[in-house]
Amino acid sequence: MRRLLWPVVVLVLLLVLNVFFTPSFFSIEVKDGHLYGSLIDILRFGAPLILVSLGMTLVIATGGIDLSVGSVVAIAGALACLQISQDASVFTAVVLALGLSVVLGAWNGFLVAAVGIQPIIATLILMVAGRGLAQLITDGQIITINSPEYKLIGGGYWLTLPFSVILVIIVLGITAFLTRRLALGMLIESVGGNAEASRLAGIRSRGIIIMVYAFAALCAGVAGLMISSNVSSADGNNAGLWIELDAILAVVIGGTSLSGGRFSLSGTVLGALIIQTLTTTIYSIGVPPETTLLFKALVVTAVCLIQSPSFRAKVFRRRGRTAPPSPAAEEKVRVTA
Amino acid sequence: MAVPAPVLTMSGIGKQFPGVKALDGVDLRLLPGEVHALMGENGAGKSTLIKVLTGVYPADAGTIELGGATVAFGSPLEAQQAGISTVYQEVNLCTNLSVAENIFIGREPRRFGRIDWKRMRARANELLSRLELSLDVSAPLSTYSLAIQQMVAIARAIDVDARVLILDEPTSSLDADEVEQLFRVMRRLKEEGIAILFVSHFLDQIYEISDRMTILRNGRLVGEYLTKELPQVELVAKMIGQELAALERLHGEAKVFARPLIEARELGRAGAIEPFSLTIHEGEVVGLAGLLGSGRTEIARLLFGADHAGTGEIAVSGSQTSLRTPRAAMTHKIAFCSENRKADGLVPDLTVRENIILALQATRGWTRPVPREQQDELVGKYIKALRISPPNPEHLVRNLSGGNQQKVLLARWLILEPRLLILDEPTRGIDVGAKTEIQRLVAELSDGGMAVLFISAELEEVLRLSHKVEVLRDRRLVAELPNDDSLTTDVLMETIASGGRTS
């Protein structure tokens, strides 16, 4: 658990920072039987990112990467809204949207595991083409719907909690069960850690890889439903735009190596929460809009540097020798940002 | 004979790791112009001593003197600049770069800030000719054999005016000719007055090349000896701290094997191995002898389904089958300990426990995890039986020494209780103690009815264990020799050399 220390420290720092600007930041109140408050908002708005990041964690653990999740978000939302606008039941819409997501994910997995295309290329295809597919579904329009049942998924409450948060907890629970109680996690880590050795140990890595990509797309599909449900509309162009990059970042902040192998689900959840808290913070402390992206970049760079053991060793050693206050460190931040 | 002043003296070196005393009061001195062997079992502290010397670890106690002055290196780079160069077991070069680039990487000769390619190539040629090598220095390193790559690593090491050259198991992946070539280079460097510290598990090589040796056991100094004054038997006894039991005959009477387990007929794969026929009986140990690259590993891979056979057929227990994947072979209870444990054996990021149960878990699929109690029991049993050290199942495999990694790999397959166990070089790069343990284990397993296909570069070992020996040459199975009293290593070598035409 020591490797989760730094993400936790960063998250706490970010939260505390908010209190200085918004003293009521930590207060949670019950209105109409629903929980309200800034913390709840972070969870609620962060739910899609957490979901996408969970799927991404497993893909990255196999040594791959999935760039297409943003497009799948858009496709799932578009298909669900189209169905509902054509008077299909919410249930049918959801099942169709998630079904299509799984098929798309399995396609990614097929390209990677069976055809042998490098993951970044294989998923780049769907990343680019998927946006087109989403627009095809919505006919280039933004589909607006009015369905209270569908609204529940992303914007509703259940048992005083936002429904999207409950969904995240369920998916997280299922993922943790599959990977840590059953043997899926170990086999994924084995395939990501040494693919050839895994093959010679008799692991059917092809099936595992296809399954993992399908799972990542399923998570993205659920996130797509949440996003479109929250705004009661489907926007093939902008829904889930760049979410794949935030998800990759969340996974990395959570301590999973991009080269595959060991992964940490709780680390990923922390990483996604850090990113979402950062976004909230930027609004609440009033960073000028034109500098928000730069601000985000600086914070994320700092987070990554703090997490790097070799970087910490360097900084501490410098201090130990009481040399001039680490100019190299500051320079590095600026360069990488 | 007057002893010249040592170029390097380490005295009273101590090094503590959490929970282990890796080195305790170790002395080492290197004389100019000698080859000094550093001997000891796995975990005796050889690697730690070298790492302390080259500045990878700081020493907790003791002093290092180089040319009379006390030194303490903060990094391998500092050590190298002071004239102590190291060539590691695994060649640390970039095979996609040219020979010259590899020699000068990081310190390319420059002119006006740009790389002076002409001078670089010229100096590379000069350096290599010092090692009696003539290579195309602008060709990528990957076009040359492992042995040549090793020499290039040495050329790189001695370029920086080395006074001390450390060779950490440089011969473990070389064949006999290549070793000879390396020794020529070592003798030449010796004449130039360089002190060479040599680590190898091959006793014959130690006796051929070294002048003096220092023996370590459990992190302590056993002593320093002149090689010619210490017989091999005594050396082994000093290394393991006890008399080595005679291992001449591991099998008793010649057995009759009636029940064939694997029958391969005209099995072959283009470019890898010519079609061969081979029958392995239950309880039989079949040895594969041949030079490196003669097709030993290729046969093993075909029998395990790691590669597809292009021709021929195979029967397991009399019924025709095809071994198209490792998975298929595993359902027939065939297991394969591969030669290259790093690349296609272990998953370095997983723990000892996970690596051991990996194959068992694979046969069960991901939906049926091996219960944790059963895992702990199995893993505990094999850690004890094979004496895996450290005996902690939650240790990452990457942190284990080579011999212990080999045992982990062996344990992975033994828990499957295979009917045929294929061992490809199971004793390479591991110490004498572990080697005899593994040999004894093979003998026990075959007595219990398990068939073993045993591949080793050491003919004595093949001869000692096998019931029959298959001889390979140039990717062809040339002879099958029953292992009776008339079969000796000389006969085997002759068969390899003649391609089986005369015998």
pLDDT digits (tens, 9 = 90+) for B342-369: 788 899 989 999 999 999 999 998 899 9
Percent of the residues in chain B that have a pLDDT greater than 90, as a whole number: 28
What are B128-178's pLDDT values in tens digits? 887 777 888 889 988 887 778 888 888 888 876 788 999 988 776 677 777
Residue B501's pLDDT is 61
pLDDT band at A34; cut points 50, 70, 90: confident
- Report the distance separating Cα B448 and Cα B442, nearest Å: 10
Residue B376 predicted with pLDDT over 90: yes
Q: What whole-number distance in Å separates Cα of residue A4 and Cα of residue A25?
A: 24
Domain spanning B8-240, CATH class: alpha beta
| All domains in chain A, ordered by first residue | 38-286 (1.10.3470)
Report phi then psi at B30, rounded to 5: -120, 130
Indicate yes or no: CB of B358 within 8 angstroms of CB of A189: no
Contact A200 B349 (CB under 8 A): no
Least confident of A78-82, A308-312, B161-165, B307-311: A308-312
| Strand pairing category for B35-39 and B212-217 | parallel
Closest CA to B303 of B343, B340, B276: B276
Rounded mean pLDDT of A228-234?
92
Dihedral angle computed from the Cα positions of residues A47, A51, A52 and A58, in that order, rounded to the nearest 10 degrees? 150
**What's the rounded Cα separation, in Å, for the pair B165 and B54?**
11
pLDDT attached to residue A334: 37
Whole-angstrom distance, CA of residue A275 vs CA of residue A11: 9
Q: Do B347 and A199 touch (CB under 8 A)?
A: no
| Residue B503 reports pLDDT greater than 60 | no
Section B384-395 average pLDDT = 87
What residue in A sits closest to B358 (Cα-Cα)? Answer: A201
Q: Which residues of A touch B (CB under 8 A)?
A: 178, 181-184, 186-187, 189-190, 193-194, 196-204, 208, 261-262
**pLDDT over threshold 90, residue B435:** no
Taking CA–CA distances from A190, the nearest residue in chain B reads B347
Among A271-285, B271-285, B447-461, B481-495, which stretch is predicted with the lowest mean pLDDT? Answer: B481-495
CB contact under 8 A, B347 and A204: no
Give every CB contact of residue A54 below 8 A, 6+ residues apart in sequence.
A171, A172, A175, A219, A265, A268, A269
Nearest to A197 among B330, B346, B370 (CB): B346
A183/chain B closest Cα distance in angstroms: 5
Chain A residues near residue B365 by CB distance under 8 angstroms:
183, 204
What's the average model confidence in pLDDT over B327-352?
A: 89
The overall average pLDDT reported for chain A is: 88
Most confident range, picked from A62-71, B109-118, B223-232, B396-405: A62-71
A202·B363 Cβ contact <8 A: yes
Task: Report the DSSP beta bridge partners of residue B11.
Answer: B63
Residue B382 to residues B98, B388, B391: CA-CA distances in angstroms? 45, 8, 10
| Reported CATH class of domain B259-333+419-429+442-503 | alpha beta
d(CA A304, nearest CA chain B) in Å? 22
Residues of chain B with CATH 3.40.50.300: 8-240, 259-333+419-429+442-503
With b for 16 or more beta-carbon neighbours within 10 A and e for fewer, the A6-29 pattern comes to bbeebbeebbebbeeeeeebeeee
Q: Confidence band (pLDDT; 50, 70, 90) for A308?
A: confident
pLDDT > 60? residue A336: no
pLDDT surpasses 90 at B280: yes
Residues of chain B numbered 297-356 and touching chain A (CB < 8 Å): 304, 306, 326-327, 330, 336, 338, 343-350, 354
Residue B202: CB atoms within 10 A of its CB come to 17
Q: Give the pLDDT band (50/70/90) at residue B475.
A: confident
> In the prediction, which pLDDT does A321 show?
47
Put simply, the answer to whether A190 touches B346 (Cβ < 8 Å) is: no
Q: What string of DSSP letters covers B342-407? A: HHHT--TTSBHHHHHHHHHHHHH-TTSPPPHHHHHHHHHHHHHHTT-SS--TTSBGGGS-HHHHHH
pLDDT reading at B251 higher than 70: no
A201 to chain B: which residues are within 8 Å by CB? 326, 358-359, 362, 412
Q: Give the mean pLDDT of chain B.
A: 85
pLDDT over 70 for what percent of chain B? 92
Q: Å from B348 to nearest chain A CA?
A: 7
Which pLDDT value is given to residue B278?
A: 93
Give the alpha-carbon dihedral of A177, A180, A184, A187, to 10 degrees.
170
CA distances from B374 to A187, B357, B383, B405, B415 (A): 18, 10, 14, 22, 11
Structural tokens at position B467: 């019931």
User: How many angstroms separate the CA of residue B277 from the nearest CA in chain A?
Assistant: 24
A197 chain-B contacts, CB cut-off 8 A = 343-347
Residues in chain B with CB shorter than 8 Å from the CB of A182 are 366-369
Chain B hits for A58, Cβ within 8 Å: none
Contacts of B369 in chain A (CB under 8 A): 181-183
Q: Say if residue A248's pLDDT is above 90.
A: yes
A to B CB pairs, distance under 8 Å: 78
DSSP labels, B106-167: TS--EETTEE-HHHHHHHHHHHHHHTT----TTSBGGGS-HHHHHHHHHHHHHHTT-SEEEE
Chain A touched by B370 (CB under 8 Å): yes
Q: Do B366 and A187 touch (CB under 8 A)?
A: yes
Tell me the C-alpha distance between B277 and B274, whole Å: 10
Strands B260-269, B311-316: pairing is antiparallel
CA distances from A63 to B226, B278, B367 (A): 51, 39, 22
- Return the pLDDT at B255: 66
Query: Of all residues in chain A, what percent carry a pLDDT higher than 70?
Result: 93
pLDDT mean over A98-126: 96
> DSSP letters along B161-227, please?
T-SEEEEESTTTT--HHHHHHHHHHHHHHHHTT-EEEEE-S-HHHHHHH-SEEEEEETTEEEEEEEG
Q: Which of A183, A199, A201 sits opposite B366 (nearest CB)?
A: A183
CB B226 within 8 A of CB B211: yes
Residue linked to tokens 């890595």: A205
Look at A163-177, B317-331, B483-497 and tell me which has the smallest mean pLDDT. B483-497
Pick B349's closest partner by Cβ from A181, A203, A261.
A261
Q: Which of A236-240, A248-252, B42-46 has the lowest mean pLDDT?
A: B42-46
CA distance B315 to chain A (A): 20
Residue owning tokens 């049918």 = A92
Q: Which of A181, A190, A200 sits opposite B326 (nearest CB)?
A: A200
For B193-212, write each residue's pLDDT tens digit.
899 999 887 777 888 899 99
